[in-house]
Structure 1
Amino acid sequence: MAAILPLPLALQARVRLAQGLWLLSWLLALVGGLTLLSSGHLLVQLRLLSPFLDPACSLPALPKAALAAGAAALGLGVLGAGATRAALDAARYPPWRGVLGPILLAGTVGGGGLLALAAGLALALPQGLDAALEKGLGAALDHYKDTEVPGHCNAKRQVDELQLGYQCCGRHGPRDWFAVQWISSRYLDPTDQDVMDQIQSNVEGRYLIDGVPFSCCNPHSPWPCLQRQLSSAQARPLSDPRQLGLNLWERGCHGVLLGHLRALAGTLGTLLGVTFFLQVLLLLGLRYLQTALEGLGGAIDGEGETQGYLFPGGLKEMLKSISQQGLCAQRPRPEEAPAEEAPDEEAPAEEAAAEA
């Protein structure tokens, strides 16, 4: 059976192929290192923003898979550079002849599988981010007042740092704070008539006001930061209550974080695509170089033209060869095989005497 996708390679073509694969190997190692850095950065960001993400969503699966794929690509690039460098010298290549095949197999199965998994997770991440941020930020705003409740003591500090750091306010805007009680009950006077009226006017018995925390204030605004009675025109006669962005962050934290994490995931997805493309090129080139050198006994400077190929025969022949090798491996060794009985040398002599 003829070889699959044969490629004739003369001496100059073999040398150029080895040199090109050496450069491609280091390029793959560089891109694999960038993938490691990008996936590590995304993993750190997801860890830092975990208080504002739904715990039920397994978002860190993407950077973890990308970390493994980047490490595999980096290792394959370094090994490929070593193999192609040794292929240019017939004296240095023999130690690589036995390990180049397993390297190609591991790079194809392991590295390709990890890259495909990470790329699939990168495509599915934006859909999961939206729902995770929606639930996580809603829970964070609800627990803002629970400064003395075990498990939620740091919710106020985390939300304030989020709004100050990302210059956002509320989940979708400042008005989201109007629908949650963000002032702790310890600071409310239960004997105050205004407080009692405000609590009784709410069906759930919450103290709701048209105000926002201090972390929503924009320090670059020329206006003083007014946190209370934001919807009342009488309280702010010189400003329009419909324009809250004059002294508050107008963007919601949901949109800001979603755009930030999607940008990181998009960068990581691009690096994974480039890594996959370079890895396929390197594996194909190494396979052609390996089969070409095997035809010359491992000497790249051998005389004449040799042929590189992907597979020595068709799929049927490959499966048959593998099955035969498996059967041969199960047969007993020659020294373990039962000794056959020696032929009886006296029998012919007895028959001749009988005939006489």
Structure 2
Amino acid sequence: MAPVLPLVLPLQPRIRLAQGLWLLSWLLALAGGLTLLCSGHLLVQLRHLGTFLAPSCPFTVLPQAALAAGVMALGTGLGGAGASRASLDAARYPPWRAILSPLLVAGTAIGGGLLVLALGLALGLPGTLDVGLEEGLKTALAHYKDTEVPGHCHAKRLMDELQLKHHCCGRHGYKDWFGVQWVSSRYLDPSDQDVVDRIQSNVEGLYLTDGVPFSCCNPHSPRPCLQSRLADPYAHPLFDPRQPNLNLWAQGCHAVLLGHLQSLASTLGSMLAVTFLLQALVLLGLRYLQTALEGLGGVIDGEGETQGYLFPGGLKDMLKTAWLQGRAAHRPAPEQAPPEEAPPKEDIPEA
């Protein structure tokens, strides 16, 4: 059977192949390390912003898969650098001969599979952020007032920190606060007629106002922040809601978080693509270097030309041989037939 993709490698090309593999392996290790940093940063961001994502949003799987792919790429790069460096020295190469085959199998099957999975998630999962953030921010706004409810007592603090840090207000704008009760019931006076009228005018029994929390205010505004009665055109004579120069954050948190997380996912996807390309080149070069040195007994500066290849035989013949071996392994052994008994001799009457 003819080898698959054979390549004749004289002495100088063998040496250049080993030297180039050493450099590519270190680049792969660097790319794996950067992938670890990018996925770790995204994972930390999701831990801080996980409150504003719906629990059913699968986006959190992306940094975990990328983290595992980065670890495998880093290990493959370090192993490839050690093997290619040792191949230049006949005394240091023998211990690596037993390591190269498991390294190639693990790098191709596990590392390549994780990279393909993470790259696919980086391309597909950012589209789920829109719905996940929409539902998560809606829930966060609804629980803003529940400062004394177990499980939601930190909702107000987290939402205020989000709006102050990312310079946003509400889901899509400051008017989103008009449709939710964001004032805690502990601060409402049940004897106040205005409070009673507002609660009774709402079918859900909520205390709704045309105001926003303090965290929606822009601290760089040259005038005091207007937080209440924003829908009343006579409450603030100098305030025109049709003008864009408000002293509130203009953007909604949905658009800000969507752009922020999609930017991180795009950066991570680019790193995964570069890592995948480098890992494919390193594994391909290591396979050619391994098969070429096997023909020389592990000595790179051996005399004569040698041949490197991917597989020792044709793919069709390999599959056919594996199929026949599998059928032979599952075929039941033929049972031995019992020895035939001799027919009984007939008694011949004597004459």
Shift of 1:242: 2.4
Match runs of 1:267-278 below 5 Å: 267-278=267-278
User: Residue by residue, what CA displacement relative to the aligned partner does 1:212-270 show, whole Å, maximum 9, x if unpaired?
Assistant: 00000000011210100111121111121223652100100011011110010000000
What is the TM-score of this pair, normalised by structure 1?
Answer: 0.89
RMSD of equivalent CA atoms: 1.8
Aligned 8 A contact 2:53 2:132 in 1: yes
Distance of 2:82 and 2:8 partners within structure 1: 24
Aligned 8 A contact 2:21 2:81 in 1: yes
Equivalence for 1:132 = 132
Equivalence for 2:243 = 243
Equivalence for 2:110 = 110
Equivalence for 1:162 = 162
Q: Percent of aligned positions with the same letter in both sequences?
A: 73
Equivalence for 1:353 = none
Shift of 1:320: 5.2
Structure 1 runs not aligned, ≥5 long: 331-356
Equivalence for 1:306 = 306
Match runs of 1:41-52 below 5 Å: 41-52=41-52
Indicate yes or no: 2:22 matched with 1:22.
yes
Distance of 1:184 and 1:151 partners within structure 2: 15
Equivalent residue letter for 2:191: T
Equivalent residue letter for 1:62: L
Equivalence for 1:176 = 176
Equivalence for 2:119 = 119
Distance of 2:328 and 2:123 partners within structure 1: 46
Q: Return structure 1 stretches of 4+ with deviation > 4 angstroms.
A: 320-330
> What SS does the corresponding residue of 1:49 show, helix, strand or coil?
helix
Match runs of 1:87-98 below 5 Å: 87-98=87-98
Shift of 1:20: 0.1
Equivalence for 1:39 = 39
What is the TM-score of this pair, normalised by structure 2?
Answer: 0.90
Aligned 8 A contact 2:166 2:256 in 1: yes
Aligned 8 A contact 1:21 1:84 in 2: yes
Shift of 1:329: 11
Equivalence for 1:203 = 203
Equivalence for 2:348 = none
Deviates more, 1:160-169 or 1:187-196: 187-196
User: Residue by residue, what CA displacement relative to the aligned partner does 1:149-193 show, whole Å, maximum 9, x if unpaired?
Assistant: 111111111111111111110011000000001011111111211
Structure 2 runs not aligned, ≥5 long: 331-351
Equivalence for 1:143 = 143
Aligned 8 A contact 1:199 1:208 in 2: yes
Equivalence for 1:216 = 216
Equivalent residue letter for 1:30: L
User: Residue by residue, what CA displacement relative to the aligned partner does 1:263-311 show, whole Å, maximum 9, x if unpaired?
Assistant: 1000000000000000000111011111111111111001111111111
**Cα distance change, pair 277–102 in 1 and its aligned pair in 2 (3 A):** same
Equivalence for 2:333 = none
Shift of 1:198: 1.4
Equivalent residue letter for 2:37: L
Equivalent residue letter for 2:34: L
Shift of 1:319: 3.6
